Amino acid sequence: MIKAKIAELLESDKFLQEVTVNGWVRSFRSNRFIALNDGSTINNIQCVIDFENTSEDILKRITVGAAINIKGTLKESLGSQQKVEVEVTSLEILGDANPEEVKLTILSPKRHTLEKLREQAHLRIRTNTFGAVMRVRSKLSFAVHSYFQQNNFHYVNTPIITGSDAEGAGEMFKVTGMDLNNPERDEQGNIDYKKDFFGKETNLTVSGQLEAETYAMGLGQVYTFGPTFRAENSNTSRHLAEFWMIEPEVAFCDLDGNMDLAEDFIKHVVSYVLEHCKDDLDFLENRLKEDEKTKPEAERSELSLLDKLKFVTENNFKRVSYTEAIDILKNSKPNKKKKFQYPIEEWGADLQSEHERFLVEKHFKCPVILFDYPANIKAFYMRLNEDGKTVRAMDILFPGIGEIVGGSQREERLDVLKEKMKALDIDEKELWWYLDTRRFGTCVHSGFGLGFERLVLFVTGMTNIRDVIAFPRTPQNAEF
C-alpha cells in the first residue's frame, strides 16, 4: 500500500493501486463524497465512501475540518472535475471538528473577508487563498536560495540584535535585560546601559547590510535572508513591524553590475514560481479577477496576475536616471492637471508610489530601474557621485507596487564616508568596525535589499502585506 500526498495522487496514472492518504475534510456531500485536502496542493481529491456499509457513528464524524485517514483504491474518476478518485475501503477519524463550533470559525464553507481571516490567522492557512499564498511563498524562498547558491554566493546570518542603525532611521525596537519597572540609572538619572545585558544600548536589526558588507570583503559575494524590524507606527497595507529581507553584497562590483544582478535575480525567482506554482497562481489570478470586478473601472488593473509576472520576466528593465524621471513626471499630464496627490515641482523630490507606478505602467510600460538619486534623500553609505549632489543609488519599480528593490554602490572612500557620517551626526565610535573595511583593502562594492513580503505581494496579487506572512506584526497587534 502506497502512502502518498494528494498532489502526487492527482498526477498519478497508476490506477487500481492501494493507497493511504491523510488530510482534512473540505466537504462531505450525499453521505458519499469526501473532498479531502492535505495542503500539498490547492486541489482536493475526491474519496468515495460506501455509506451503506459504514457505521452511522463514523458518518456523523466526517465533518468539515475533521482530520481523517483513508485507505482505498486509486481509480479513474467518472466525474468531469477530476482525473482520479479514491474508492474508500477503510476510514479512521484522527481528529474531530464539531460542526457547531466550525460554524463560528473561518473553516465554515463560505466566503470570508480578509479582515476576518486575519482575526483567525492560526486557521486561515486551511483556506484556499492562504494555502495558495503560502505555497507560493515557500517556493519563492527556495528560489532565492537556489539563485544565490547556483551563482556562488555565500549565505551569511547577520545579527538580529545590534547596536547600530544601518538606515539612520532611528525607528528601532529596543532590546534590554533590565527590569523595566526599576532600570539601572547613572548619577544623572539616565538609564545606565553599561549595566544592561550587552553593556550598551541595543536594538532589533533594521538591516543586515552593514555586517554583510564586512563579509563581502572576505568572501567576495554574500547574501543575507532573514527577519528585520521597524518600530514605525504605520498602519498601512504595505508596512509590517517584522518582515524578511534579502540582501546580497558583492565586492569589486559597481552600480551597473548591481543593476544587472538585481534584474537577473528577480527574473529567476519569478520564472521559478511561474513554472512550479501553476495551480496556485491560476487560483490567485481568478481570485484577483473577481476582486477587480468590485472596483470602479478606473481603478482596475490593465494586466492580469500572470500577465504582470510575464511582464517582468519577458521585458528588459528600463534604466533611467532620477533627473530624467523628474523631467518626465514634471511634464506628465497627471502632474500638469494636478492629479498626483504629491505634485512634482522641482528636482530633489522624494518619489512616491503614484510617481513610480506612472513611470512603469503608463510611460515606459516595462519595469524601470531609477538611478543616481539626490544624496540628501538617501542613506549615508551610498557612494557620492562626482557632481557632489547625487549618489550611486538605484531602485527597481514594478507595476502595481512601485519600488520593490533598493540598492546602491557603497561608498568605499574612507574620507568621504567619514564626512557623510559627520554631516548626519553618526558617531564614528559606534561604527569603527564598519570604517575598518575602508582602511584595510577597500574596493568598489555594491548591494541591494529586497523586502521578501513585497515580492510575495507582487507574485500572488494580494493587496495587503499582512496577508502574505503567516502571523503579521503591526502596531497594536502581536497576536498568535
Q: What is the DSSP string of 442-473?
A: ---EEEEEEEHHHHHHHHHT-S-GGGSSSS--
pLDDT of 98-133, one tens digit each? 999 999 999 998 889 999 999 999 999 999 999 999
pLDDT of residue 265: 98
Q: Is the pLDDT of residue 199 over 90?
A: yes
pLDDT of residue 170: 63
How would you class 152 by CB atoms within 10 Å of its CB: exposed for 0-12, middle for 13-18, buried for 19 or more?
A: exposed
State the Rg of the chain over Cα. 27
- pTM for the whole thing? 0.94
Measuring CA to CA, which residue among 102, 94, 24 is closest to residue 58? 94
Q: Is the pLDDT of residue 36 over 70?
A: yes
258: confidence class by pLDDT, cuts 50, 70, 90 = very high
Q: Is the dihedral of CA 78, 84, 85, 87 positive or negative?
A: positive
Q: Is the pLDDT of residue 141 over 70?
A: yes
How would you class 199 by CB atoms within 10 Å of its CB: exposed for 0-12, middle for 13-18, buried for 19 or more?
A: exposed
Measuring CA to CA, which residue among 142, 145, 163 is closest to residue 154? 145
pLDDT of residue 284: 97
d(CA 39, CA 469): 17
Q: Which amino acid is at 267?
A: K
Q: Which residue carries 475526491 as its cell?
A: 46
13: confidence class by pLDDT, cuts 50, 70, 90 = confident
> How many other C-beta atoms can be found within 10 angstroms of the C-beta atom of residue 420?
20
Q: Is the pLDDT of residue 168 over 90?
A: no
Can you list the domains of the chain with their CATH numbers?
A: 2-105 (2.40.50.140), 128-171+206-467 (3.30.930.10)
pLDDT of residue 167: 63
Q: Is the pLDDT of residue 341 over 80?
A: yes
pLDDT-wise least confident of 175-189, 283-297, 369-383, 455-469? 283-297
Measuring CA to CA, which residue among 319, 325, 290, 317 is closest to residue 304? 290
DSSP 256-313: HHHHHHHHHHHHHHHHHHHHH-HHHHHHHHHHHHHHHHTS-GGGS-SS-HHHHHHHHH
pLDDT of residue 166: 63
pLDDT of 408-436, one tens digit each? 999 999 999 999 999 988 889 989 999 99
Q: Is the pLDDT of residue 301 over 90?
A: no
